[in-house]
Amino acid sequence: MDFSLTREQALVQKMMRSFTENEVKPIAAEIDRTHQYPAENVAKLFQLGVMGMTVPKEYGGMGADQVAAAICTEELAKACASTSDIVAGHTLCCVPIVEHGTEEQKRKYLPMLTKGGVLGGMGITEPNAGSDASKSQTEARLEGDHYVINGSKIFITNGPEAGVFVIFAMTDKTKGNKGLSAFIIESSFPGFSIGKVEDKMGLHGVHTSEIVFTDMIVPKENLLGKEGAGFKICMQTLDTGRIGIAAQSLGIAEGALEEAIAYTKGRVQFGKPISKFQNTQFTFADMAMRIEAARLLTYQAASVKESGARCTKQAAMAKLSASETAMWVTTKALQMFGGYGYTNDYPMERMMRDAKITEIYEGTSEIQRIVISANMGL
């Protein structure tokens, strides 16, 4: 079994480390403080091909593998979880179109979402339908050559900036999950609007909002897959999304470890750097071990996804392990900074705030445990 990166993956890693160090890290604290969307860096990520990393080349993407995509998210998250989340949210729009779209849908929307520089998003969650997508109240009614959609989605990553979304709505409420359908929509469609923009604990550089549909007109040809296939499309897309959140979590944890090591080497107490105290070293050893375990689970899940095999359990395990590792590592790392860690003079408090959401979105830690156990043949 070969655990080394391929030449392509290593090149992607090198590119993203350079971009993160030179472009992302210098403004990470500022966009967190001001809640400013990093438009210039997002434009550069489009130019680098990162926003279409796994989209086939014939549709404007890079045609890279799933591990390379995970590496992109991981490297960005080391310095700025907000920027990595913009990429992750965009990917959630691309994936279902690549995997379930018609040839016409792919040729229309994927070039927009890659070389066209149009940001994407995905709408699943509703006020009364969080972990249970079958409780969706958003309805789509077919009228001639178009659907009329009414309802709303909340907590939508990239909501205010995205131009294209994949959303889910009930076409037949009597069928439960089997009545859920997927649609490709544009923010320019009549009846689309932005609702509340959330004021969040962390991830201040990526905007999260409600999107509202009031008699929104959606062309019939924008149905993604067949009517009633939405739940299956949603769950398959979440498998990919959870790998992305695992990679984001991994990056946050790695970034926190790097910051803590640098700080403790320079912080002298009782006549020596605090990095020399056994208690500090044992904590670092535990951090490194947990991070490496999360990395292996994340890259394994990405590899299984790339092979074409079902990766539901692997994705859930990677997401659960990496997100809980990110929260644990950032908490321990902040403690090493003492009072300084609680201030915004250092990035630790931002990293800790950003880490928390990884245990919640794309399915909470509790949901991941349900998914894992459901796939154990119990």
DSSP string computed for 176-242: GGGGEEEEEEETTSTTEEEEEEP--SS-TTS-EEEEEEEEEEEEGGGEESSTT-HHHHHHHHHHHHH
pLDDT of residue 176: 85
Structure tokens at 335: 């403690």
Same domain, 134 and 101: no
Q: The tokens 């897309």 sit on which residue?
A: 237
Same domain, 211 and 244: no
pLDDT of residue 15: 97
Q: Are 94 and 141 in contact (CB under 8 A)?
A: no
Burial (CB < 10 A; 0-12, 13-18, 19+), residue 198, is middle
pLDDT of residue 378: 86
pLDDT of residue 3: 86
Same domain, 356 and 250: yes
Final residue of a structural domain among 113, 133, 156: 113
- What is the rounded distance in angstroms from the CA atom of residue 148 to the CA atom of residue 152? 13
- What is the rounded distance in angstroms from the CA atom of residue 323 to the CA atom of residue 241? 13
Same domain, 256 and 359: yes
Same domain, 303 and 179: no
Same domain, 103 and 184: no
Q: Are 156 and 204 in contact (CB under 8 A)?
A: no
Same domain, 69 and 168: no
Same domain, 226 and 270: no
The verdict on residue 2 lying in a domain is no
Structure tokens at 324: 């809980």
CA pseudo-torsion sign 321, 274, 347, 22: negative
* Angle ∠(83,88,92) on CA atoms, nearest 5: 150
Give the residue ranges of the chain where pLDDT is below 50.
Answer: none
Same domain, 155 and 260: no
Q: Which pTM was predicted?
A: 0.95
- What is the rounded distance in angstroms from the CA atom of residue 254 to the CA atom of residue 71? 12
Q: How many domains does the chain have?
A: 3
Q: 147 is in which domain, residue-wise?
A: 120-230
- What is the rounded distance in angstroms from the CA atom of residue 215 to the CA atom of residue 139? 10
- What is the rounded distance in angstroms from the CA atom of residue 283 to the CA atom of residue 333? 9
The verdict on residue 265 lying in a domain is yes
pLDDT of residue 228: 95
pLDDT of residue 133: 72
Final residue of a structural domain among 206, 230, 254: 230
Q: Are 245 and 362 in contact (CB under 8 A)?
A: yes
**Domain containing residue 167: CATH number:** 2.40.110.10
Same domain, 98 and 124: no
The verdict on residue 346 lying in a domain is yes
pLDDT of residue 83: 98
Same domain, 269 and 309: yes
Final residue of a structural domain among 179, 206, 230: 230
pLDDT of residue 84: 97
**362 given a catalytic annotation:** yes
Same domain, 25 and 97: yes
**Domain containing residue 15: CATH number:** 1.10.540.10
Task: Considering the candidates 161, 210, 359, 362, report the single residue annotated as catalytic.
Answer: 362
